[in-house]
Amino acid sequence: MVSQTLLVMSISLFVGLNIFFVAQAKDFNQDIDITWGEGRGNILNNGTLLNLALDQSSGSGFQSKDEYLYGKVNMQIKLVPGNSAGTVTTFYLKSQGLTWDEIDFEFLGNVSGDPYILHTNVYTQGKGDREQQFYLWFDPTAEFHNYSILWNPSHILFYVDGKPIREFKNLEAMSVAYPKSQPMRMYGSLWNADDWATRGGLVKTNWSQGPFIASFMNYNSDNACVWSIDKGTTNTTPCSPGGSSTSSSSSTNEWFSQRGMDSSSQKVLRWVQRKFMVYNYCKDKKRFSQGLPVECTAKNKNKKS
């Protein structure tokens, strides 16, 4: 059973070391609303554990109570074990409307013994098509692992257990749209996508293995800037270095002002992409026969408009 107050976690570094640290357990009741699934989503253990279930009738999902305009959010997830083919577990940020922004973690299930594929994508103004996919270097169904999104005015970073796996830079100076003005909520879901999720839809969901369950814990939005409407005026810039935020000024400065990665982080990013990336839209010349997207050909640029 998950401790109500303290959780001990292990991060396995790519150099083969283990670092143990203690974190305060979060209460999902304070931060999350279960929004669909007709009872298939449940908050348990005094708010420290959230389970989503999927059966042949429906999946389930939740969303954050707050909206954010920039932030760093983290979630620990344990994925559906065994034969998870056809299922998709998600953790993502998304705004509303027809020209929405979105930053995605999607975990594509597979048959027993085959690895999950971690599918990432970035949408700006309703346009995506920026997929990068990875295998993970651990079994994501055996225990909880930490998945993080950092979104600030300069770049978006995807992290797995503290390791950067993907960076999407703000290249507005090169006419590449970047999410910067639409507040986003955090969402999580478990649903059936056997028309495309596993081997392009060739492997279907085996409902005799259900109900399928994915587990979430320790959602952390302490370093996210809560968007609000103050005295009838929409506050679209709620967070700035040293400014007001749900986090402390020093913590806000650290992630909000970050414009790139240090050499150590870049080394980890290259290691992950070299060893575990299985698809990169920026390498798909057949798909983009008229020329790769602009951001794919930009080298060593990280401009902020």
Catalytic positions, please?
Answer: 102, 106
DSSP label of 180: -
Cβ-contact 77, 147 below 8 angstroms: yes
Is residue 238 a contact partner of residue 246, using CB atoms and an 8 Å limit?
no
Q: How far is the C-alpha of 122 from the C-alpha of 39, rounded, in Å?
A: 30
Positions of E strands within the chain? 6-12, 18-24, 32-36, 41-44, 49-54, 60-78, 87-94, 102-108, 117-123, 132-135, 145-151, 155-160, 163-169, 184-192, 212-226, 228-230, 233-235, 277-280
244, HSE (Cβ side, Cα atoms, 13 Å): 8
How far apart, in whole angstroms, are the C-alpha atoms of residue 103 and residue 202? 27
CA distance 252 to 224: 8
